[in-house]
Every structure is written in C-alpha cells, then in structure tokens.
Chain A
Amino acid sequence: NAGVTQTPKFQVLKTGQSMTLQCAQDMNHEYMSWYRQDPGMGLRLIHYSVGAGITDQGEVPNGYNVSRSTTEDFPLRLLSAAPSQTSVYFCASSYGRRYEQYFGPGTRLTVT
C-alpha cells in the first residue's frame, strides 16, 4: 500500500511551458484534491474531485486544469507556466465525507 504518490519530486520550467503533475492513490479513495503551498504560507486549494468524472474548482484554480478519468489518478496540468506558479504542490485523498486526508510528499516546482 503506497498511499498517495506524486511525480516528479522536483521540476524546473521556463515561463510559458506546460506540464502535468501526476498524483495517484491506491486506497480506493473517492475524494482527491490539489493544493499549493507558497513559502511560509498555508495550503491553498486548487481543484478537487469527489469521484471519477467529477471535478470542481477550489480557491486558486486559474492557470490549472484537472481531470479524473479513474479513481486512482488525479493529474494537475499547468497550461502555460508563470513565475507566480512557483510553489510546492501537494495532492491529497480521502474517503470523501470525512476529512482525514492523506497527503503525498509534494512536488517542488520552480518557474523561471
């Protein structure tokens, strides 16, 4: 049981490039979410999903897309990277109704 896995661990992009951050969980959780954490700040919700085929926006969705074709995977796409998207990105999952979320190890993204 690997829990929540994220790839890559580190990534450097140039402004305007696109990329996909991968997130997978093997706990059969229905609820998955993406957060970003800027230095010295709390986590801010980007997008979330309550099940396969269902996604919704969080606090800071602009510049990011998500899809949920399977229960296990919830990729986050950066459409055109900007320096303001430099952050640490965390993926999380839970059974949904209750809030014991399991977080992945994070992806540290730098946009130059």
Chain B
Amino acid sequence: LAKTTQPISMDSYEGQEVNITCSHNNIATNDYITWYQQFPSQGPRFIIQGYKTKVTNEVASLFIPADRKSSTLSLPRVSLSDTAVYYCLVGDVSYNTDKLIFGTGTRLQVFP
C-alpha cells in the first residue's frame, strides 16, 4: 500500500484558494487517490477521488500530475466552515484486497 505524506497543518483566510499537496511516491498502477474531510467529533466525509489528470466536483478539484507521485486538493474560496482535517488516501482497486489507510491528515484552519 502506498504511503502518503501531507503537511501537518495549514492556515488560510476566508475567500482564499487553498491547495493541499499529498506525496505518494510508491503509488501503484491500480491505486486511486481519494480525499476525505473530517470535522471534530464526526466521521470523515468523502470529498473527491481521481486516478489521473484533473477531477472537479461542486466542492473541490483534484490535480494529479502524469507521474502520479503526488496530488493536490484545491478548495476554492474557503469559508470558516472549511476548517477541518483533510486526509489523502491511496488505495488499490482490487476487490479482494480493498483496504483504506488514513494518515494523520492536514489540519486546515480558516480565519475571518
């Protein structure tokens, strides 16, 4: 399973774009990249998932370069409610070996 490395914490201000980068140097061919958001005292919530290039949904964008050894979660125009911990996960899509390993995540603090 590919190990991921993220910054421990980041600060931002309301209205700014936030980019959180995750390194996964030993990503395998079958691995997908997934990001989750967790608020205090709640379970994680799925944000976005991708395999290569760029994926965008109503919440965020995910940028994955051609070598796939890193990925960047982009949150446009953050608000105070985006203050949370963000986890990057990399996992095999093989049905029989499905596992989901969380790291320590990136704690994002958004200030007024």
Residues of A that sit less than 8 Å from B by CB: 4, 31, 33, 35, 41-45, 48, 50, 58-59, 90, 92, 96-106
Contacts and interface: CB of A to CB of B under 8 A. Distances in A.
B43 A103 contact: yes
B28 interface: no
A99 B91 contact: yes
Contacts of B91: 99
Contacts of B98: 31, 48, 50, 96-97
Given A45-B99, A99-B49, A104 B43 contact: yes
Interface residues of B, number: 24
Contacts of A4: 43
Chain B binding surface, main DSSP class: loop
Interface of B: 32, 34, 36, 41-46, 49, 87, 89, 91, 93, 95-96, 98-105
A105 B41 CA distance: 8
A48 B1 CA distance: 15
A92 B34 CA distance: 15
Contact of A42 (B34, B46, B103): B103
Contacts of A59: 101
B96 A50 contact: yes
Given A42-B103, A45-B99, A103 B49 contact: no
B31 to A, nearest CB: 10
Contact of A100 (B46, B87, B102, B105): B46
Contact of B44 (A43, A44, A48): A43
